[in-house]
Chain A
Amino acid sequence: GAGVSQSPRYKVAKRGQDVALRCDPISGHVSLFWYQQALGQGPEFLTYFQNEAQLDKSGLPSDRFFAERPEGSVSTLKIQRTQQEDSAVYLCASSLAIGAGGTDTQYFGPGTRLTVL
Protein backbone atom coordinates (compact mmCIF):
# COMPACT_ATOMS: atom_id res chain seq x y z
CA GLY A 1 0.00 0.00 0.00
CA ALA A 2 0.94 3.65 -0.20
CA GLY A 3 3.31 4.96 2.41
CA VAL A 4 3.67 8.43 3.81
CA SER A 5 4.03 10.99 1.04
CA GLN A 6 5.34 14.54 1.21
CA SER A 7 5.25 17.40 -1.24
CA PRO A 8 7.06 19.16 -2.62
CA ARG A 9 10.16 16.99 -2.48
CA TYR A 10 12.38 20.05 -3.01
CA LYS A 11 11.68 23.68 -2.30
CA VAL A 12 13.90 26.69 -2.87
CA ALA A 13 12.77 29.89 -1.21
CA LYS A 14 14.18 33.37 -1.01
CA ARG A 15 14.77 34.67 2.47
CA GLY A 16 11.61 36.22 3.78
CA GLN A 17 9.22 34.10 1.73
CA ASP A 18 6.54 31.92 3.27
CA VAL A 19 6.50 28.19 2.50
CA ALA A 20 4.00 25.38 3.06
CA LEU A 21 5.02 21.75 3.24
CA ARG A 22 2.47 18.99 2.93
CA CYS A 23 2.32 15.54 4.48
CA ASP A 24 -0.09 12.76 3.53
CA PRO A 25 0.07 10.09 6.23
CA ILE A 26 -0.84 6.46 5.81
CA SER A 27 -4.61 6.13 5.73
CA GLY A 28 -6.04 5.46 9.17
CA HIS A 29 -2.94 6.51 11.07
CA VAL A 30 -3.89 8.50 14.12
CA SER A 31 -0.53 9.97 15.04
CA LEU A 32 1.53 12.34 12.92
CA PHE A 33 4.94 13.80 13.63
CA TRP A 34 7.06 16.51 12.01
CA TYR A 35 10.85 16.57 12.27
CA GLN A 36 13.57 18.90 11.06
CA GLN A 37 16.84 17.33 9.93
CA ALA A 38 19.78 19.64 9.40
CA LEU A 39 22.74 18.47 7.32
CA GLY A 40 24.79 15.89 9.19
CA GLN A 41 22.36 15.70 12.09
CA GLY A 42 19.61 13.36 13.19
CA PRO A 43 15.94 14.27 12.94
CA GLU A 44 14.85 16.82 15.52
CA PHE A 45 11.30 16.68 16.83
CA LEU A 46 9.08 19.62 15.92
CA THR A 47 5.48 18.73 16.70
CA TYR A 48 3.00 15.90 17.17
CA PHE A 49 -0.67 15.43 16.31
CA GLN A 50 -3.14 12.88 17.49
CA ASN A 51 -5.94 13.06 14.96
CA GLU A 52 -6.58 16.80 14.53
CA ALA A 53 -5.28 17.74 17.97
CA GLN A 54 -1.79 19.17 18.20
CA LEU A 55 -0.70 17.66 21.48
CA ASP A 56 2.91 18.80 21.51
CA LYS A 57 4.49 21.70 19.66
CA SER A 58 7.39 22.24 21.97
CA GLY A 59 9.94 21.52 19.25
CA LEU A 60 8.87 24.31 16.91
CA PRO A 61 11.89 26.64 16.86
CA SER A 62 10.01 29.92 16.66
CA ASP A 63 6.58 31.43 16.16
CA ARG A 64 7.35 31.54 12.44
CA PHE A 65 6.64 27.81 12.38
CA PHE A 66 3.05 26.65 12.36
CA ALA A 67 1.54 23.20 11.77
CA GLU A 68 -2.01 22.07 11.30
CA ARG A 69 -3.99 18.92 10.64
CA PRO A 70 -7.56 20.19 10.45
CA GLU A 71 -9.33 16.98 9.49
CA GLY A 72 -7.03 14.54 11.21
CA SER A 73 -5.43 13.36 7.99
CA VAL A 74 -3.28 15.60 5.78
CA SER A 75 -0.97 17.95 7.65
CA THR A 76 0.74 21.15 6.58
CA LEU A 77 3.84 22.69 8.08
CA LYS A 78 4.06 26.39 7.34
CA ILE A 79 7.13 28.51 7.79
CA GLN A 80 6.70 32.26 7.60
CA ARG A 81 9.44 34.73 6.65
CA THR A 82 11.96 31.96 6.00
CA GLN A 83 15.53 32.41 7.17
CA GLN A 84 18.69 30.68 6.00
CA GLU A 85 18.85 28.66 9.20
CA ASP A 86 15.53 27.07 8.21
CA SER A 87 17.31 25.20 5.41
CA ALA A 88 16.93 21.50 6.25
CA VAL A 89 15.05 18.36 5.34
CA TYR A 90 11.60 18.30 6.89
CA LEU A 91 10.39 14.80 7.66
CA CYS A 92 6.87 13.67 8.38
CA ALA A 93 6.04 10.38 10.07
CA SER A 94 2.79 8.68 10.97
CA SER A 95 1.86 5.81 13.22
CA LEU A 96 -1.28 3.84 13.75
CA ALA A 97 -1.83 4.88 17.36
CA ILE A 98 -0.22 5.43 20.68
CA GLY A 99 -1.15 2.29 22.53
CA ALA A 100 -1.02 1.46 26.18
CA GLY A 101 1.73 -1.02 25.43
CA GLY A 102 4.02 1.59 24.05
CA THR A 103 4.73 3.50 20.94
CA ASP A 104 3.59 2.17 17.60
CA THR A 105 6.02 2.09 14.72
CA GLN A 106 6.55 5.39 12.96
CA TYR A 107 6.58 5.31 9.17
CA PHE A 108 8.55 8.12 7.61
CA GLY A 109 7.98 10.03 4.43
CA PRO A 110 10.76 10.85 1.97
CA GLY A 111 11.11 14.36 3.31
CA THR A 112 11.04 17.84 1.79
CA ARG A 113 14.42 19.46 1.27
CA LEU A 114 14.05 23.19 1.90
CA THR A 115 16.80 25.54 0.77
CA VAL A 116 16.53 29.18 1.76
CA LEU A 117 18.71 31.52 -0.25
Chain B
Amino acid sequence: AQRVTQPEKLLSVFKGAPVELKCNYSYSGSPELFWYVQYSRQRLQLLLRHISRESIKGFTADLNKGETSFHLKKPFAQEEDSAMYYCALSYNFNKFYFGSGTKLNVKP
Protein backbone atom coordinates (compact mmCIF):
# COMPACT_ATOMS: atom_id res chain seq x y z
CA ALA B 1 0.00 0.00 0.00
CA GLN B 2 1.31 3.40 -1.01
CA ARG B 3 1.76 5.31 2.20
CA VAL B 4 3.44 8.45 0.90
CA THR B 5 2.53 10.05 -2.41
CA GLN B 6 4.41 12.85 -4.12
CA PRO B 7 2.39 13.53 -7.27
CA GLU B 8 4.95 15.69 -9.04
CA LYS B 9 8.16 14.15 -10.36
CA LEU B 10 9.47 17.51 -11.52
CA LEU B 11 8.65 21.04 -10.47
CA SER B 12 10.21 24.02 -12.24
CA VAL B 13 9.89 27.57 -10.92
CA PHE B 14 11.70 30.84 -11.46
CA LYS B 15 13.93 32.35 -8.82
CA GLY B 16 11.88 34.43 -6.41
CA ALA B 17 8.64 32.60 -7.13
CA PRO B 18 6.75 30.70 -4.43
CA VAL B 19 7.15 26.94 -4.40
CA GLU B 20 4.99 24.17 -2.97
CA LEU B 21 5.99 20.52 -3.10
CA LYS B 22 3.03 18.27 -2.45
CA CYS B 23 2.98 15.27 -0.16
CA ASN B 24 -0.01 13.16 0.81
CA TYR B 25 0.07 10.19 3.11
CA SER B 26 -2.23 7.35 4.02
CA TYR B 27 -2.23 6.42 7.68
CA SER B 28 -5.02 6.69 10.21
CA GLY B 29 -2.90 7.10 13.32
CA SER B 30 -0.46 9.79 14.34
CA PRO B 31 2.60 9.47 12.16
CA GLU B 32 5.72 11.54 12.19
CA LEU B 33 6.26 13.34 8.91
CA PHE B 34 9.58 14.48 7.48
CA TRP B 35 11.05 16.19 4.46
CA TYR B 36 14.45 15.03 3.24
CA VAL B 37 16.55 16.75 0.59
CA GLN B 38 19.33 15.52 -1.66
CA TYR B 39 21.44 18.15 -3.38
CA SER B 40 23.46 17.23 -6.46
CA ARG B 41 26.28 14.81 -5.59
CA GLN B 42 25.45 14.95 -1.89
CA ARG B 43 23.86 12.46 0.44
CA LEU B 44 20.29 12.46 1.61
CA GLN B 45 19.74 14.74 4.60
CA LEU B 46 16.90 15.78 6.85
CA LEU B 47 15.35 19.14 5.96
CA LEU B 48 12.61 19.36 8.55
CA ARG B 49 10.18 17.34 10.64
CA HIS B 50 6.66 18.28 11.57
CA ILE B 51 7.03 17.90 15.34
CA SER B 52 9.75 20.56 15.39
CA ARG B 53 7.48 23.10 13.73
CA GLU B 54 10.58 24.91 12.53
CA SER B 55 11.59 26.72 9.37
CA ILE B 56 14.75 25.52 7.69
CA LYS B 57 16.30 27.49 4.83
CA GLY B 58 13.00 29.34 4.54
CA PHE B 59 11.00 26.12 4.06
CA THR B 60 7.99 25.26 6.18
CA ALA B 61 5.58 22.35 6.19
CA ASP B 62 2.28 22.03 7.99
CA LEU B 63 0.73 18.72 8.84
CA ASN B 64 -2.94 18.71 7.80
CA LYS B 65 -4.49 15.61 9.31
CA GLY B 66 -7.86 16.26 7.69
CA GLU B 67 -6.37 16.25 4.22
CA THR B 68 -3.55 13.85 5.22
CA SER B 69 -1.07 16.22 3.64
CA PHE B 70 2.34 17.60 4.53
CA HIS B 71 3.16 20.01 1.74
CA LEU B 72 6.53 21.79 1.72
CA LYS B 73 6.43 25.50 1.02
CA LYS B 74 8.81 28.39 0.48
CA PRO B 75 7.66 31.90 -0.40
CA PHE B 76 10.68 32.85 -2.53
CA ALA B 77 12.65 30.08 -4.21
CA GLN B 78 16.41 30.39 -4.63
CA GLU B 79 18.62 28.70 -7.21
CA GLU B 80 20.42 26.80 -4.45
CA ASP B 81 17.10 25.14 -3.56
CA SER B 82 17.35 23.02 -6.70
CA ALA B 83 17.47 19.42 -5.46
CA MET B 84 15.50 16.21 -5.00
CA TYR B 85 12.98 16.39 -2.18
CA TYR B 86 11.52 13.34 -0.46
CA CYS B 87 8.60 13.26 1.92
CA ALA B 88 8.78 10.50 4.53
CA LEU B 89 6.55 8.99 7.19
CA SER B 90 7.29 7.03 10.34
CA TYR B 91 4.69 5.64 12.68
CA ASN B 92 6.53 3.38 15.07
CA PHE B 93 9.88 5.13 15.16
CA ASN B 94 11.76 2.28 13.53
CA LYS B 95 10.28 2.05 10.04
CA PHE B 96 10.22 4.80 7.50
CA TYR B 97 8.27 5.13 4.27
CA PHE B 98 9.52 7.53 1.60
CA GLY B 99 7.72 9.02 -1.34
CA SER B 100 9.14 8.71 -4.82
CA GLY B 101 10.56 12.24 -4.70
CA THR B 102 10.10 15.55 -6.50
CA LYS B 103 12.90 17.20 -8.39
CA LEU B 104 12.81 20.95 -7.85
CA ASN B 105 14.45 23.05 -10.53
CA VAL B 106 14.77 26.76 -9.77
CA LYS B 107 15.53 28.70 -12.89
CA PRO B 108 17.45 31.99 -12.84
Contact = CB atoms under 8 A, between A and B. Distances in A.
A80 interface: no
A91 B44 contact: yes
B100 to A, nearest CB: 5
B95 interface: yes
A71 B86 CA distance: 32
A65 interface: no
A104 B59 CA distance: 20
A105 interface: yes
Contacts of B49: 102-103, 105
B98 A105 contact: no
A1 interface: no
A31 B44 contact: no
Given A102-B51, A105-B46, A58 B100 contact: no
Contacts of A110: 43
Contacts of A103: 32, 49, 90, 93
Contacts of A41: 100-101
B76 interface: no
Interface residues of A, number: 29
Nearest to B90: A103
B101 A42 contact: yes
Secondary structure type dominating chain A contacts: strand
Contacts of B4: 42
A108 B44 contact: yes
A58 B86 CA distance: 22
Interface in B1-57: 4, 6, 32, 43-46, 49, 51
A18 interface: no
Interface in A88-110: 91, 93, 98, 102-103, 105-110
Nearest to B84: A42
A109 B43 contact: yes
Interface in A25-69: 31, 33, 35, 40-45, 48, 50, 55-56, 58-59
